[in-house]
A and B are shown apart, each in its own frame.
Chain A
Amino acid sequence: MSNIFPKWTNRLPLILTVGVLVAGACVVAGVTYYFTPKYTRVGYQPIQPVSFSHEIHSGQMGIDCRYCHNDVDKSWYSNIPSAETCMKCHSMVLAEDPRLEPIRKSFKENTPVPWVQIHKTPDYVYFNHAVHVNRGVSCVKCHGKVNEMDEVKHSKSLSMAFCLECHRNPHENVRPQSEVYNLNWEPSAEWDADREGQALVDKMKIRSSQNCSACHR
């Protein structure tokens, strides 16, 4: 009877237990790291058909966000400008630049430039740009300092927790309406979210909803 199982089998339960634990831990760690919005989204920086630099246009030249994204305060959707918008300047500036060929082609043939989408909420989330930018929430809150990015990348996770964090504490996240499109605005030393921020919340009757119905319908 004793010859059937070799001696090492005595350690089998231990090996199995440790093995299962290690494997389990790996799976948990892997899921935690790879499946979180942070991993899948933040830092996403696809190659665009035209290497448009927000840093030059917005940062250095100080063009307002709404010069190109002109529907952001009207619609849920912040539009990507048509080639025509680019051509308003680039018909004269860098008019022959080969890097702008796709834009000129798009304008001439009225075909779209295939920009790659970076920021995206899932289909079951109904996010609305207009209501945020008209009510004291700056672009920078979700998109980061785009004016310092040469090529745009995903800088915030845009997960549900990310949304809720702001919706739970609106007074810490609103700013004067005049500074919404000023991505460099920092609260001054006297700015106290509990006082100034709360005053804005009260004045605008901000009731940032934490209910499912706010975003899911």
Chain B
Amino acid sequence: MKMNSKTGQVGNAVESRYWRSIGESMGEVEHPEWSDREFPEGASELPEDFSRRDFLKLMGASAGLAGAGMLGVGCRRPEELIVPFGAETSEGIHGQEYVHGVPMYFATAMPTRTGAIPLLAESNEGRPTKVSGNADCPASKGAANGFAYASILNLYDPDRARTYFKNGKEMSKADAVEQLKSLAQSEGRTAFLMPSANSPSRDRMIGLIKDRMGDRVEFYVHEAIDFGIHARAASKAFEQSITPVWKFEKAEVILSLDCDFMGTEEDSGLYTCDFTKNRKLASADDSMNRLYSVEGLLTQTGANADHRLRANASRIGAVAVYIASKLGVLSDANSQKLIQDLTQEQKHWIDACLEDFEANKGKGLVVAGYRQPEEVHILVHHINGILGNNGNTVEFIPVATEQFGTLKDLSEDLGKYDRVVNLGCNPIYDGGVDIGSKAIVDKTEFRLTYFKKDESHSSLGKPSTRLCINAPLAHYLESWGDARANDGTIVSIQPLIAPLFDAMSELEVLSIYASVNPDTYQSAYDIVKDTFSGDSWEHYLHQGYQEGSKSTPVTDLELSQEIPSIAYSTIPSKSVEVVFTRDYSVDDGRFANNGWCQEVPDPITKITWDNVMSVSRKTAEKLGLEHGKKAKLTVQGKSIEAPVWVQPGMSDNTVSLPLGYGREGDLRIANFEYEKRPLINNNFFGAKVIDVGGFNFYKLRSSGRNLDFGEIENTGEDYPLSSTQEHWSMEGRPIVREATLEEFRKSEKKRAKELGKEEYNEKHFFPDNLGLGSHARNEGEIYEHPYQERPTLKSDVNQWGMSIDLNSCMGCNDCVIACQSENNIPIVGKEQVANGREMHWLRIDRYYTGRNHNPKEKDSDGLPLIKKIKDQGQNGDDVQHAEEWIDDPQVVNMPMSCVHCENAPCESVCPVNATVHDDEGLNVMAYNRCVGTRYCSNNCAWKVRRFNYFDYNKRPLENLYESPLTKPALFLDWLSDREKPSKKEDEWDLLELAKNPQVSVRMRGVMEKCDYCSSRIQAAKINKKVKAGTGGDVMIKDADLKTACQSACSADAITFGNLLDKDSRVVEEKNNPRTYETLDFLDNGARTTYLAKVRNPNPKMPDSYEKPFSTKEYKATEGGHGDDHGAHKGHGHSHKEDNH
């Protein structure tokens, strides 16, 4: 290996051991220039056609502007007013003591399809700005998910419905309510169409309406992604109304059958929390759970599995049948036919896996995902029954019997009704192709809608024959409600702000229908209060949940003898199976107009702002599909053209179709085209249009179907995708370190024996023992140490540090969203992401490693093997052999943000001291000093610094390139008010409300990065000091402070705290033998350290491995250069020789 012994830098990117895309793994870096440069090409350059003359023109004009500006504004500061309250006790002021400037926290909950996520919402000056999990609530243990964190931005969505209207005319809420009242009292039959929910108050209201209206009313529930499957299947299997609650913390072996419980299932945050509890290894005696996954798509759960078996989504049923027949549950002919479809390898895999479960009876857990049909779920309950897991690792709690029809039922029954009342569904968009959604919309006379104009808006398309009242739907942070959480605990939903646009909640509408005398209908508050059955209403709201309301698990778990048989289906030849899936970023489309959700990279593909059709390498080769090019997919006669993404780990002949994109309403984030706005409208440099917003796969989907078959063919048309996959490349240094449990235990026992206790704790952590330690170290520190130079600078009270456990991190992106919300991080849009200008302070790197993958494998001529094969244009066996490791990769996720080096490279190069060290170990940014040289980013080895190339906060995304020079209107605006944003007023007014007042909003030309939530640190210190008064108890303890990412992490993978507090968790974590420092050969003294990942393979499995693929790959590349290594002998690697 050509290696610079001084820095440990690997000679070139071809030698990387970790790869992040197929190209990179082959040694063909798709964008080789990206790894050599501070920012990708184009990120820091002017467009090509920008000549010197243009530049001079610009410069001249800006000098003129500067002069004009000075005249207009003067030097005196403007007169500002202070407006105190008039009378504190009068109406409109908080009931409780309000102290201006001190944030208030309220317990509430975000309703989900089958329950709710208990939350704690922060309110600054009366506006909610941030939500986090309610750690006091036993139902969730503080877990939440990225959707919950992002939901705060939905509240301030500029495209929200703002007025009540009917027949194109605006009306007041009072008028709309009056008309609704007369609707409620009128004759005729009414059908209600509502989204799914699990709310005692709503159930009560529905009961009241049924009592009042009898058979004149019926209720239908519609959800594009149906999580009710779990309750339905369990109810059928056990012949009683129950739903399963998985107890991952009790399970030692887990088998997921296409169940993405860490990602797209409901309550994924809670399940991740439970699952990772058994993965926090600290010593050789600790045990660890083992996760098996059988799936067709590479999901987050599969990516974190210890063993993963690829199987088509349509064959998961066969896998379940095979397991059941092995356990003696099934033996009929149909089962035998299904089993025949499995390959021998698959059977061996399942056999060995089953052995593990039989050895762990009562401590195993088999779970099936929402995409699988009911029959598979029922079979899984039987399997868990035989394995003794029911009642142990999976509990069942009673649920109300489902009494509602589906959208399909409504579409069939529509003739029976005189009108439809829609409480927030959007059937035209997500109803499915086989539903007469148009007829339903035409019959709708009242509709709650979150958006001003979405697909089901009655004035879209042909004018409706009826006049529908369109009413704005309230956000959950503006409305009263309640819900049952995962374990049946009743949680309260309380508003933090009055409805911004006088919006109405579902409960209000139901209340008008439920009351006999509509003039005295109950408010939502009264309904929820009446439903509440506990002792203290105030206590309930304060805690956010009703104590003791947890459902008692059902103990009588008698399985029904009847096992429905699984339909035999096989992928027709020349066809592919298509799998419709909930999207990781935008759910089923409800978060599509949320910029944070659009811009967060998909945890697997790392694509932003779009969805793609993922296929496996073999399928792409077989069907002639090309990575990044569009293909035409036809399902049941309907077709759509969308880009193809060759995704490692996909099963062959499977296409995954994430739902939720391709919106058509007036949604300025989800649908850039609605105002015919190109993404860049740049007259000065020439306009360029970039497609954005993804593809609507609902157009291929029959209602409720998650699986289908179709044909796909390449169209060869290019489609630009913005993937963050190869940005901020690490050039193959030993960044992520991992081992197997066996290795970890051996190494730990050996170390304990060899070393004295003190030394054991002090050094030689096990990643070094594995030979994964760093390359040659520097002979000394390159950069000056701030505290060595000025020892008095170092604080003796607090020193901050962070530890990130790679064994717990599941790569879910929740921390990224929470960070964005906390730190006022702007979105930059698809085109800017493509230029490498995304602003996320925290990113999740996702690396793949492959079995037998040896990127340095060379032929007899010393040329890289894979390159030669490719160059010769060969296909067939050779390529097959060289590439097949792609098919079953191991995946590692690594959160990466500023590591706060003590000898920070960025600080040394800043010409204006804008980035400096503080007394508590923070590497801080003084934004006002920053002049935007970007030297710091250039010199950062972790590539965690972000530069504001444009004023992303104030400018609309399609207008980033506009300036007062190119648009006279902007110049006039600028003259009249220099602070005026060029975002539209309706948008700016709302977005301003979402900002955290404790953190500066950065402007154009300023560098920024993770500051360990400096604002939270200062707030914690100040609170502690205020509390201490004249005392000296000012040291920050764990209970005083959490960073945004830390509190967002359901898996508890991120630990932050005071290194001087010996009882703090971060000190404990840093003493964990798995601790290592990234790029430690630089001797930078990073304050963020990582805990190595440990995999737990079962040695009896056919696909078992002694060492993680990365180690093997690493060793292979070490060996591959054997001879030329001699020249470098004597430089580093000494620890490796010890190990051999």
Contact = CB atoms under 8 A, between A and B. Distances in A.
B1022 interface: yes
B283 interface: no
Contacts of B76: 40
B1026 A134 contact: yes
B79 A214 contact: no
A126 B1021 CA distance: 13
A123 B924 CA distance: 18
Interface stretch (B88-96, B268-276, B421-429, B589-597): B88-96
A122 B928 CA distance: 11
B797 A205 contact: yes
A106 to B, nearest CB: 4
B1030 A136 contact: yes
A115 to B, nearest CB: 5
A205 B89 CA distance: 39
Interface stretch (A79-87, A143-151, A187-195): A79-87
Contacts of A211: 916, 918-919, 924
B88 A84 contact: yes
A216 B928 contact: yes
B1011 A80 contact: no
A185 to B, nearest CB: 16
B92 A110 contact: yes
B1025 A131 contact: yes
Contact of B1026 (A71, A110, A130, A136): A130
Interface residues of A, number: 50
Contacts of A116: 79-82
A216 B926 contact: yes
B83 A114 contact: yes
Interface string B908-943: 000000001011101011111100000000000000
B134 to A, nearest CB: 25
Nearest to A75: B101
Contacts of A46: 79
A82 B85 contact: yes
A211 B798 CA distance: 14
A153 interface: no
Contacts of B102: 71, 74-76
B87 interface: yes
Given A77-B101, A83-B87, A217 B75 contact: no
Interface hub of A77, A112, A113, A205 (most chain B Cβ within 10 A): A205
A35 B101 contact: no
B84 interface: yes
Interface string B239-253: 000000000000000
B819 to A, nearest CB: 14
Contacts of A113: 83-84, 86
B919 A207 contact: yes
A38 interface: no
B791 interface: no
B101 A124 contact: no
Interface string A97-108: 000000000110
A109 B86 contact: yes
A213 B77 contact: no
B432 to A, nearest CB: 49
Contacts of A110: 85-87, 90-92
Contacts of B795: 207
Contacts of B998: 126, 217
B572 interface: no
B1026 A82 contact: no
Contacts of B926: 212, 216
Nearest to B923: A213
Contact of A82 (B87, B92, B928, B1031): B87
Interface of A: 34-35, 40, 46, 71, 73-77, 79-84, 106-107, 109-117, 120, 123-124, 126, 128, 130-131, 134-136, 177, 200, 203-205, 207, 209, 211-214, 216-217
Given A77-B101, A205-B1034, 15 more contacts: A34-B75, A71-B101, A73-B1026, A75-B99, A79-B100, A80-B82, A112-B85, A113-B84, A116-B79, A116-B80, A117-B82, A123-B1000, A124-B928, A213-B1017, A216-B924
Interface of B: 75-77, 79-92, 99-102, 795-797, 916, 918-920, 922, 924-929, 998-1000, 1011, 1014-1015, 1017-1018, 1022, 1025-1026, 1028-1032, 1034
Q: Which 7 residue pairs spanning A and B have beta carbons closest together?
A: A77-B101, A112-B83, A211-B918, A75-B101, A110-B86, A82-B85, A212-B926
26 contacts: A35-B75, A40-B75, A76-B102, A107-B87, A110-B85, A110-B91, A113-B84, A114-B81, A117-B80, A117-B82, A120-B80, A126-B1015, A135-B1030, A205-B1032, A207-B795, A207-B1034, A209-B919, A212-B918, A212-B925, A212-B929, A213-B920, A213-B1018, A216-B926, A217-B998, A217-B1000, A217-B1011
